[in-house]
Amino acid sequence: MILFWTRGYAGTSLKDIEAALDMRPGSIYAAFGSKEKLFRSALTLYAERSRTALSETLSEAASPLEGLADHVRKLGRALAAPTQTKACMLMKTMLESSDNERVLRDAAEDMMRQTEAAFRDAFQAARDAGQIPADRDPVRLASRLQSEVLGLRAYAQRSDAPGRIEDLSEDIARDLEALATCFR
Amino acid sequence: MILFWTRGYAGTSLKDIEAALDMRPGSIYAAFGSKEKLFRSALTLYAERSRTALSETLSEAASPLEGLADHVRKLGRALAAPTQTKACMLMKTMLESSDNERVLRDAAEDMMRQTEAAFRDAFQAARDAGQIPADRDPVRLASRLQSEVLGLRAYAQRSDAPGRIEDLSEDIARDLEALATCFR
DNA sequence: TATATGCTTGAGCGATCGTTCAAGTAAAGC
DNA sequence: GCTTTACTTGAACGATCGCTCAAGCATATA
């Protein structure tokens, strides 16, 4: 999965996959069917893990809004560590897929919408709990947060990012919390 | 340029370029040297145009901060229109480039830093003019804005984005202006 | 031990990649 | 009209792409 994540769909050759899985082409095709199917399962795995991480952070937090802020701060800490790739795999897939790979694009979009729906539910819960003003639209807040996270992760890909990422994620988290404080 | 922008470096084949320029391979190589050099000049052209657009918007605005807010709103309007590609070409290049294309990655990063420097100068000017609080760091604000713009443009790539983009850019622009209003 | 079964192997398929270069074409100078 | 010069052409190169399949291997069953 990490291979596809870092190099993308078209950028990963079967040679790379053979080496990573220590399998020969025949076995790979017997097990996964095609490069595209293998990529899609990698994409699904990525999305599931992301969703799990988010829901765990949300459930551990004292409130939905703090949960979202925690999520952003955790992300910032993760992105400050040196890893192969930082940017969101769904975003990378969406950006690299052309028309003849529309299936992948659509799949990535769908999964991204699921994440955004989780954000929306959290904002909705925060509003129901009176933590944020009633005139705030959870859908709009969710797309804003989605966009901020995409931006943060894309920015993190820059080689000079490590020193700025924690400030960035802290700013985003503070803005989330400010939704509550401006209401008191 | 648009071809490279939409499909990326590796995703654009010489066949595509031949068709787009109505030139045969020999002429292309005589004129540009290599696919990589052609891509780099496309990247440079893109960055120059972006920079020009930004500086024009800034110079037309009543104040640096309003200039930045205008820039974001203009971007939102542009992204709401149906175009081939929305996401920033520098970001796409940064994300798709692997280690064997490090030259492209570095070039894209450099150009992105120039944009960010322009943001920083505008924030600095706003602070010097007393428009934003003195304890605000222009560098930090600039990286935040850079990240927000990257996020906005990546989000705009989604097929269901058109309806949300203007809200998103409006939210970002308001947050910029709030740097001033919270100071009054 | 002989046979059947399921999995792995890697040579090789046709297609496409970026790139080159001998040959062809067109305009300029004499 | 002939030569020179500058530019264009497209066939073809080696490399690599995703993928296939006859052959080989190892284990289970008889």
Tell me, what's the pLDDT at B181?
75
How many residues in chain B?
184
Say how far apart CA B81 and CA A109 lie, in whole Å: 19
Distance B23 CA to D8 C1' (A): 9
Distance A154 CA to D13 C1' (A): 40
Nearest to B10 by CA among B118, B130, B105: B105
Domains and their CATH numbers in chain A: 44-181 (1.10.357.10)
Across residues B2-22, what is the average pLDDT?
Answer: 96
Q: What percent of chain B has pLDDT over 70?
A: 98
Residue B34 has which token pair?
Answer: 């290599």
CB contacts of A152 in chain B (<8 Å) are: 147, 151
Nearest nt to the B13 alpha carbon by C1': C17
Q: What count of Cα atoms within 13 Å lies in the side-chain half-sphere of residue A181?
A: 7
Residue A177 has which token pair?
Answer: 């919390």
B38-62 pLDDT, tens per residue? Answer: 999 999 999 999 999 999 999 999 9
Say how far apart CA A24 and CA A4 lie, in whole Å: 18
pLDDT band at B178 (very low <50, low <70, confident <90, very high): very high
Distance B42 CA to D12 C1' (A): 29
**End-to-end Cα distance, chain B:** 45
Please list, in sequence order, all residues whose beta carbon lies within 8 angstroms of the beta carbon of residue B1, skipping any fewer than 6 positions away.
Answer: B42, B45, B46
More confident call, B153 vs B99: B153
Residue A170 has which token pair?
Answer: 């802290």
Q: What is the DSSP letter of A182?
A: T
A143-171 pLDDT, tens per residue? Answer: 999 999 999 999 999 999 999 999 999 99
Residue B38 has which token pair?
Answer: 């052609």
User: Is pLDDT at A182 greater than 70 in this prediction?
Assistant: no
pLDDT band at A68 (very low <50, low <70, confident <90, very high): very high
Instruction: For residue A140, give Cα distances in angstroms to A120, A147, A184.
Output: 8, 11, 21
- Chain centre to alpha carbon of residue B132: 24
pLDDT band at A136 (very low <50, low <70, confident <90, very high): very high
Nearest to B93 by CA among B153, B155, B5: B5
Strand C CB shell (< 7 Å): A 23-27, 30-31; B 10, 12-15, 25-26, 29, 34-36
Nearest to A95 by CA among B8, B151, B112, B78: B8
Tell me, what's the pLDDT at B98?
86
Residue B130, sorted as left (phi over 0), alpha (psi -120 to 50) or beta, turns out to be left
ipTM for this model: 0.93
Q: Hey, are the CB atoms on B95 and A113 less than 8 Å from each other? A: no
Across residues B72-80, what is the average pLDDT?
Answer: 97
Nearest nt to the A13 alpha carbon by C1': D17
Distance A99 CA to D5 C1' (A): 45
Residue B162 has which token pair?
Answer: 């058109």
Mutate to test the interface with A, among B13, B15, B95, B123 (most CBs of A within 10 A): B95
CB contacts of A154 in chain B (<8 Å) are: 91, 94-95, 147, 150-151, 154
A136 touches chain B (CB under 8 A): no
- List bases, strand D, within 7 Å of protein CB: 7-12, 16-22
For residue A99, the chain B residue with the least C-alpha distance is B7
pLDDT band at A126 (very low <50, low <70, confident <90, very high): very high
User: Is pLDDT at B35 greater than 90 in this prediction?
Assistant: yes
Alpha-helical segments (H) within A33-161: 35-60, 64-80, 89-96, 102-128, 138-156
Say how far apart CA B144 and CA B172 lie, in whole Å: 11
A12-66 pLDDT, tens per residue? Answer: 999 999 999 999 999 999 999 999 999 999 999 999 999 999 999 999 999 999 9
Tell me, what's the pLDDT at B184?
53
- The distance of B152 to chain A (nearest Cα, Å) reads 6
User: Are A173 and A72 spatial neighbours (Cβ–Cβ below 8 Å)?
Assistant: yes
Q: Hey, are the CB atoms on A98 and B150 less than 8 Å from each other? A: no
User: Is pLDDT at B88 greater than 90 in this prediction?
Assistant: yes
User: Is pLDDT at B180 greater than 60 in this prediction?
Assistant: yes
Average pLDDT, chain A: 96
Nearest to A159 by CA among B144, B113, B158, B151: B113
For residue A178, the chain B residue with the least C-alpha distance is B175
Residue B146 has which token pair?
Answer: 């850079």
Tell me, what's the pLDDT at B67?
98
Q: Hey, are the CB atoms on A164 and B143 less than 8 Å from each other? A: yes
pLDDT band at B1 (very low <50, low <70, confident <90, very high): confident
- Out of B6, B148, B164, the one facing A148 most closely (by C-beta) is B148
A74-107 pLDDT, tens per residue? Answer: 999 999 999 989 999 999 999 999 888 999 999 9
- Number of residue pairs across A and B with CB atoms under 8 Å? 106
Burial class (CB in 10 A: 0-12, 13-18, 19+), A177: middle
